[in-house]
Amino acid sequence: MIKNFPFCMKPMAIEQVMSDQDSEDEVDDDIADFEDRRMLDDFVDVSKDEKQLMHLWNSFVRKQRVLADGHVPWACEAFSRLHGRDLVLSPARFWCWRLFMIKLWNHGLLDGCTMNNCNLILERCQDEGSDVVKS
């Protein structure tokens, strides 16, 4: 008997056994996140903030099923909306995100208009944050 097996095996109901559905291709987000963090931890020449941003992006892309180059502009805007508040609270991660967008632009995956839209989203998040601090 294996005691320290990291992922518990659960018995299946007879309906599941006899079903035509196969879950082999399903992605378990918790396991994918664990593997992603473990892989990123192996990088020694990358800062903690860069690793955190990479993990946020990898997780977002996986959950949103960003599969094609043409999806990247939408993904960047959606990522900026979803994580904008957290990004503006951490200046290091904020600049990591901007540098990452520049890398996407250099590779032809992101256009200037979308970069501008993302930066406007982040500026709104900054303004909202400063309004909260003032009141």
For 87, the 3-state DSSP assignment is helix
What is the arithmetic mean of pLDDT over 77-85? Answer: 94
Give CA–CA dist 47/28, Å, rounded.
Answer: 27
Give CA–CA dist 93/44, Å, rounded.
Answer: 17
Query: pLDDT, tens digit, for every residue of 44-60?
Result: 777 888 888 888 888 89
> Which residues contact residue 16 at a Cβ distance below 8 angstroms, ignoring those fewer than 6 apart?
none
**Bigger pLDDT: 8 or 61?**
61
Query: What was the pLDDT predicted at 104?
Result: 94
Question: Which of 7-11, 58-62, 70-74, 82-86 is the least confident region?
Answer: 7-11
From the number of C-beta atoms within 10 Å of its C-beta (0-12, 13-18, 19+), residue 11 rates as exposed
What is the arithmetic mean of pLDDT over 20-33? Answer: 62
From the number of C-beta atoms within 10 Å of its C-beta (0-12, 13-18, 19+), residue 114 rates as buried
